[in-house]
């Protein structure tokens, strides 16, 4: 077992000169069009210009970053040869920057690049992970990149950057944090160290997510969700994720549903599956029962505690106005049924499937999809 976190973490507004040093000359800022249009990108531009750093802005970012966008960013990276790479934005901007760094190194970029991540949403935890997810729009399939070269040198958690995040994005991102933490906690690779991160993340989400959703200017709630996202990222970076993410990776792009919302729809049905003892060895019911204690819905019977956990998550999901099923999310039944076999196959072959606490088959995954479509968990 190892627990390796080389990324320096700064909470609040940093002194960039102290953070990255005074010898930097050129930076590539990867961000999204809204950050530029709203002026939020000046959070980086102004202090960097004051330090004499030339900043090239790459803002061709959309949700679910594509292979073509990453390739365009790699071209800029190789031609400009910056000594600082900054990702400013949500998960899409961060994942794009990570993929640009990954493929630039594959293309022979040997220069030492200081990688700085500044998240503006509280969801992916990508500022502390070696993961990146990119999409092939032709087949609507997601691909996970995993390499320690994508771990940032430093990450900045400034809650003031999240105040303007719309409530819908806050809810979707926040339920993604909860999914990250729960999957890490029940993973076969979980340890005391990942448990500590996951448990604290779940506590923070339970206490502050609905408040952040309902009161966008509540800085304590915003800061707490920022911390929860980071902690959950640390947990799953070491412990891995499971089929909740495998299923979401397959159906999300196909249905054009945001990743976090897709995870939130699936979560109760995945827990119900993983805790159903169908002759499997060591079902994770005891682990889910431990989480029920954290959410204040425990029982002296583990299976009942797990049911209580599911109900508690469904209540939170309702408070966040997240659909309770894929049918409620607007997916047409005939289209869903036509795609079901292919979606289940994709989910089975997803890299996250290996991290699930119980083994699964295509039939298992199809049944979870069906339950999540019709809203059945018992």
Model confidence pLDDT, tens digit, residues 220-252: 999 999 999 999 999 999 999 999 999 999 999
CB 126 within 8 A of CB 91: yes
308-311, Cβ contacts within 8 angstroms, sequence gap of 24 or more: 309/271, 310/268, 310/271, 310/272, 310/377
pLDDT band at 63; cut points 50, 70, 90: confident
CATH number at residue 139: 3.40.50.1970
Rounded mean pLDDT, 153-165: 95
Please choose, from the candidates 165, 81, 83, the residue with its C-alpha nearest in 3D space to the C-alpha of residue 123: 165
Domain stops at, among 162, 191, 221: 162
Report which of residues 347 and 281 the model is more confident about. Answer: 347
Considering the domain architecture, whether residues 145 and 180 belong to the same structural domain is answered as no
Residue 169 tokens, joined: 């994005």
Considering the domain architecture, whether residues 66 and 21 belong to the same structural domain is answered as yes
CB 135 within 8 A of CB 142: yes
Considering the domain architecture, whether residues 154 and 174 belong to the same structural domain is answered as no
Q: Is the pLDDT of residue 126 over 70?
A: yes
Domain-embedded: residue 238: yes
Tell me phi and psi for residue 289, to 5 degrees: -60, -35
**Rounded to an integer, what distance in angstroms lies between the CA atom of residue 233 and that of residue 252?**
20
Considering the domain architecture, whether residues 184 and 71 belong to the same structural domain is answered as no
Domain-embedded: residue 3: no
Range of the structural domain that residue 88 is part of: 8-162
Considering the domain architecture, whether residues 299 and 361 belong to the same structural domain is answered as yes
Domain stops at, among 133, 162, 191: 162
Domain-embedded: residue 154: yes
Residue 257's alpha-carbon distances to 220, 249, 253, 301, in angstroms, are 29, 10, 6, 36
Domain-embedded: residue 2: no
pLDDT mean across residues, the chain: 93
Q: Is the pLDDT of residue 138 over 90?
A: no
Rounded mean pLDDT, 334-363: 96
Domain stops at, among 111, 146, 162: 162
Please choose, from the candidates 50, 131, 153, 33, the residue with its C-alpha nearest in 3D space to the C-alpha of residue 88: 33
Provide the pLDDT for residue 62.
84
**Rounded to an integer, what distance in angstroms lies between the CA atom of residue 267 and that of residue 262?**
9
Q: What is the pTM of this model?
A: 0.92
Cross-strand partners of 10: 156
106-110, Cβ contacts within 8 angstroms, sequence gap of 24 or more: 107/74, 107/78, 109/77, 109/78, 109/81
CATH number at residue 202: 1.20.1090.10
- Specify whether the backbone of 58 is left (phi greater than 0), alpha (psi in -120 to 50) or beta: beta
Considering the domain architecture, whether residues 158 and 174 belong to the same structural domain is answered as no
Domains contained in the chain, number:
2
């Amino acid at each position: 077992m190892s627990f390796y976190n080389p990324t320096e973490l700064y909470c609040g507004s940093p002194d960039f000169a102290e953070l990255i040093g005074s010898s930097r000359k050129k930076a590539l800022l990867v961000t999204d069009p809204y950050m530029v249009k709203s002026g939020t990108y000046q959070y980086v531009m102004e202090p960097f210009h004051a330090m004499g750093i030339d900043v090239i802005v790459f803002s061709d970012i959309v949700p679910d970053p594509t292979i073509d966008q990453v390739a365009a960013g790699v071209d800029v990276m190789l031609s400009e040869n910056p000594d600082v790479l900054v990702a400013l934005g949500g998960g899409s901007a961060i994942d794009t920057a990570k993929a640009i760094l990954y493929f630039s190194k594959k293309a022979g970029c040997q220069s030492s690049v200081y990688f700085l991540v500044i998240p503006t949403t509280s969801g992916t935890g990508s500022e502390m992970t070696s993961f990146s997810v990119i999409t092939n729009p032709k087949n609507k399939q997601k691909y996970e990149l995993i390499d320690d070269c994508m771990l940032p040198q430093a990450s900045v958690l400034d809650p003031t950057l999240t105040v303007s995040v719309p409530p819908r994005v806050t809810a979707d991102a926040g339920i993604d944090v909860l999914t990250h933490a729960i999957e890490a906690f029940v993973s076969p690779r979980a340890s005391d160290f990942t448990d500590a991160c996951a448990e604290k993340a779940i506590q923070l989400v339970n206490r502050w997510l609905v408040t952040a959703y309902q009161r966008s200017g509540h800085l304590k709630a915003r800061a707490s969700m920022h911390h929860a996202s980071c902690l959950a990222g640390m947990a799953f970076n070491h412990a891995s994720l499971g089929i909740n993410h495998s299923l979401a990776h397959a159906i999300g792009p196909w249905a054009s549903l945001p990743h976090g919302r897709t995870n939130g729809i699936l979560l109760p049905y995945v827990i119900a599956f993983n805790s159903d003892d169908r002759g499997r060895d060591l079902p994770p019911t005891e682990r889910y029962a431990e989480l029920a204690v954290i959410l204040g819905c425990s029982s002296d019977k583990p299976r009942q505690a797990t049911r209580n956990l599911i109900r508690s998550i469904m209540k939170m999901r309702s408070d966040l106005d997240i659909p309770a099923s894929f049918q409620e999310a607007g997916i047409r039944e005939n289209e869903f049924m036509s795609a079901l076999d292919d979606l289940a196959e994709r989910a089975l072959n997803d890299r996250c499937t290996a991290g699930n606490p119980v083994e699964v088959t295509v039939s298992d995954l199809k049944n979870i999809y069906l339950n999540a479509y019709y809203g059945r968990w018992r």
